[in-house]
């Protein structure tokens, strides 16, 4: 769960989007491509085709509430200049893996700045948040397991067997954490969403010495905070690590946008590992892991998506450094984003729609069936607002929704436009309810 499907068709002219689709089915009548075409036909029949839609620089003239530009910095001249300066000095790419030629003094500066901003001892940047999550979960579980084994060799009376490390993962975690858990050779327990008692039970019942609890800090679709303080009490009590993905929290949650772990008083805890992306509030591209020196050392030595990946592009590092400067110099930005998110939620719930209470920048409006969400997304576009639309498997069946995101520079006029779009959605839902009572669909 947690995979974004904001690419859903918004009812534009060419439903196939700009990417060429196979046309000549006769060219490969018996080859492997036939199976791909058959699988594609099955997806089409199930309504699971996704479309890439090229947008113009001004988001096709629509008010963009679908992106993750949570601080509205993606066009900020200071970030653009940071990227340009980095390209002038370092060129266009990192030129190699971080362990070969890909570590520049710019990377070191960014890692120092991220760690300082987060109040943590160390940080390590990756070329995406996805890769940061893959490395964090796989490398830490593997190293915990071998540490367990060598500890046991040193002390044969040690109580635990060499059973795999346990990973406990919230059922609504982002796809990158789910994939990371799958890639790790850990034993996995998926717990109900935000269920601290279930986490505690899983940790208490384990037969391995080591365990990691992984959770989004702010859940990507619903926008709610994870119960981090309670989770940390439980992980500490059971001697486990807590890994918090701050993708939707960093830059938005907490008094200065230092993230949800910091806001929960866990910023300096050595048994808390934070992962993050540079692509949302920081408006660039890349990811990072923030934590204790032992964690960072483990990732450098063994994180496969660190070792075997080209280092973060200098332009991205330069833009992220500039974004951190802006965030430090403008501590009011995170609070302003949260206030705008609450206003969006108030508008939706004032219209009788089922809107979440936002803890960060994300507001979700649950509509139920996938067709209702797709139609509502299309109506919003017709009324000048681009929103993301989420359907199963990104959300549970019956919980398809629109996802709206706030940023500090949303004006009251913008909010009026959103109000008109959501009024059209509300009218559409009401029409459906009335017709449904008469046994017909809208
Ligand atoms: C919760 C969460 N974690 C990780 C990621 C991946 O980050 P990136 O886009 O930098 O790969 C995302 C991206 O959408 C996310 O929502």
Kindly report the protein residue whose alpha carbon is nearest to atom 14 of ligand 1: 4
Q: Using the mean position of ligand 1's atoms as its centre, give its distance from the Cα of residue 312 in Å.
A: 15
pLDDT reported for residue 12: 34
What tens-digit pLDDT sequence spans the chain (442 residues)? 333 333 333 333 344 455 566 655 556 667 889 999 999 999 888 777 888 889 999 999 999 999 999 999 999 999 999 999 999 999 999 999 999 999 999 999 999 999 999 999 999 999 999 999 999 999 999 999 988 777 666 665 555 555 689 999 999 999 999 999 999 989 999 999 999 999 999 999 998 889 999 999 999 988 999 999 999 999 999 999 999 999 999 999 998 999 999 999 999 999 999 999 999 999 999 999 999 999 999 999 999 999 999 999 999 999 999 999 999 999 999 999 999 999 999 999 999 999 999 999 999 999 999 889 999 999 999 999 999 999 888 888 899 999 999 999 999 999 999 999 999 999 998 887 666 655 544 4
Pocket mutation for ligand 1, best pick of 129, 178, 224, 359 (most atoms within 8 Å of C-beta): 129
pLDDT tens-digit readout, 254-301: 989 999 999 999 999 999 999 999 999 999 999 999 999 999 999 999
Kindly report the protein residue whose alpha carbon is nearest to atom 15 of ligand 1: 247
pLDDT reported for residue 433: 66
| CB 287, CB 133: distance < 8 Å | yes
287 lines ligand 1 (CB under 6 A): yes
Q: Using the mean position of ligand 1's atoms as its centre, give its distance from the Cα of residue 355 in Å.
A: 23
174 lines ligand 1 (CB under 6 A): yes
**Ligand 1 atom showing the smallest separation from residue 285 Cα:** 10
d(CA 370, CA 368) in angstroms, rounded, equals 7
Q: Using the mean position of ligand 1's atoms as its centre, give its distance from the Cα of residue 115 in Å.
A: 19
Cα dihedral 200, 206, 212, 213, rounded to 10, equals -30
pLDDT reported for residue 18: 55
Q: Using the mean position of ligand 1's atoms as its centre, give its distance from the Cα of residue 175 in Å.
A: 8
**Ligand 1 atom showing the smallest separation from residue 277 Cα:** 10
Return contacts of 346-349, CB within 8 angstroms, 24+ apart: 347/415, 347/418, 347/419, 347/422, 348/404, 348/422
Nearest to 47 by CA among 392, 286, 337: 392
245 lines ligand 1 (CB under 6 A): yes
3: helix, coil or strand? coil
Q: Using the mean position of ligand 1's atoms as its centre, give its distance from the Cα of residue 246 in Å.
A: 9
Pocket mutation for ligand 1, best pick of 171, 176, 244, 278 (most atoms within 8 Å of C-beta): 176
Q: Using the mean position of ligand 1's atoms as its centre, give its distance from the Cα of residue 129 in Å.
A: 5
216 lines ligand 1 (CB under 6 A): yes
332: helix, coil or strand? coil
Q: What share of the chain is helix, strand, coil (3-state, %, to 5)?
A: 45, 15, 40
Cα dihedral 434, 7, 68, 134, rounded to 10, equals 120
Kindly report the protein residue whose alpha carbon is nearest to atom 10 of ligand 1: 129
What six digits make up the tokens of 198? 């279930």
**Rounded to two decimals, what is the model's pTM?**
0.91
Q: Using the mean position of ligand 1's atoms as its centre, give its distance from the Cα of residue 130 in Å.
A: 6
List all residues 6 or more positions away from 272 whose beta carbon is below 8 Å from its beta carbon: 232, 241, 242, 243, 244, 261, 266, 291
**Ligand 1 atom showing the smallest separation from residue 131 Cα:** 11
Kindly report the protein residue whose alpha carbon is nearest to atom 9 of ligand 1: 129
pLDDT reported for residue 276: 98
298 lines ligand 1 (CB under 6 A): no
275 lines ligand 1 (CB under 6 A): no
Nearest to 288 by CA among 298, 274, 302, 300: 274
**Ligand 1 atom showing the smallest separation from residue 216 Cα:** 1
pLDDT reported for residue 104: 97
């Amino acid at each position: 769960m947690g995979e974004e499907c904001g690419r859903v068709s918004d009812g534009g002219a060419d439903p196939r989007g700009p990417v060429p689709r196979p046309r000549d089915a006769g060219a490969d009548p018996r080859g492997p491509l036939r199976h791909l075409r058959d699988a594609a036909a099955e997806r089409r029949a199930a309504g699971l085709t996704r479309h890439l839609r090229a947008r113009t620089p001004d988001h096709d003239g629509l008010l963009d509430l679908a992106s993750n530009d949570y601080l509205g910095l993606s066009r900020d001249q200071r970030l653009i200049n940071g990227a340009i300066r980095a390209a002038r000095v370092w060129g266009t790419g990192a030129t190699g893996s971080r362990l070969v030629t890909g570590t520049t003094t710019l990377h070191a500066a960014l890692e120092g700045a991220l760690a300082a901003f987060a109040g943590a001892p160390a940080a390590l940047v990756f070329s995406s948040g996805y890769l940061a999550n893959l490395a964090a979960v796989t490398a830490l579980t593997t190293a915990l397991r071998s540490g367990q084994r060598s500890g046991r060799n040193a002390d044969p009376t040690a109580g635990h067997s060499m059973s795999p490390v346990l990973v406990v993962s919230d059922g609504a975690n982002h796809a990158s954490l789910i994939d990371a858990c799958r890639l790790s050779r850990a034993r996995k327990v998926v717990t109900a969403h935000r269920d601290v008692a279930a986490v505690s039970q899983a940790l208490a019942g384990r037969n391995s010495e080591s365990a990691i609890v992984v959770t989004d800090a702010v859940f990507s679709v619903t926008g709610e905070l994870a119960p981090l303080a309670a989770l940390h009490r439980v992980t500490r009590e059971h001697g486990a690590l807590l890994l918090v993905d701050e993708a939707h929290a960093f830059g938005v949650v907490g008094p200065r946008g230092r993230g949800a772990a910091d806001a929960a008083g866990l910023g300096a805890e050595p048994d808390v590992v934070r992962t993050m992306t540079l692509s949302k509030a920081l408006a660039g591209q890349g990811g990072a892991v923030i934590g204790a020196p032992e964690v960072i050392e483990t990732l450098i030595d063994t994180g496969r998506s660190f070792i075997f990946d080209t280092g973060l592009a200098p332009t991205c590092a330069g833009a992220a450094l500039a974004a951190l400067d802006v965030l430090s110099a403008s501590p009011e930005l995170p609070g302003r984003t949260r206030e705008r998110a609450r206003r969006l939620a108030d508008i939706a719930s004032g219209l009788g729609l089922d809107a979440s209470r936002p803890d960060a920048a994300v507001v979700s409006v649950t509509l139920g069936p996938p067709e209702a969400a797709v139609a509502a997304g299309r109506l919003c576009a017709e009324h000048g607002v681009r929103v993301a639309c989420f359907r199963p498997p990104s959300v549970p069946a019956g919980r398809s929704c629109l996802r709206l995101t706030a940023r500090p520079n949303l004006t009251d006029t913008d909010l009026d436009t959103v109000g008109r779009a959501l009024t059209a959605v509300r009218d559409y839902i009401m029409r459906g309810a009335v017709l449904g009572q008469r046994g017909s669909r809208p």
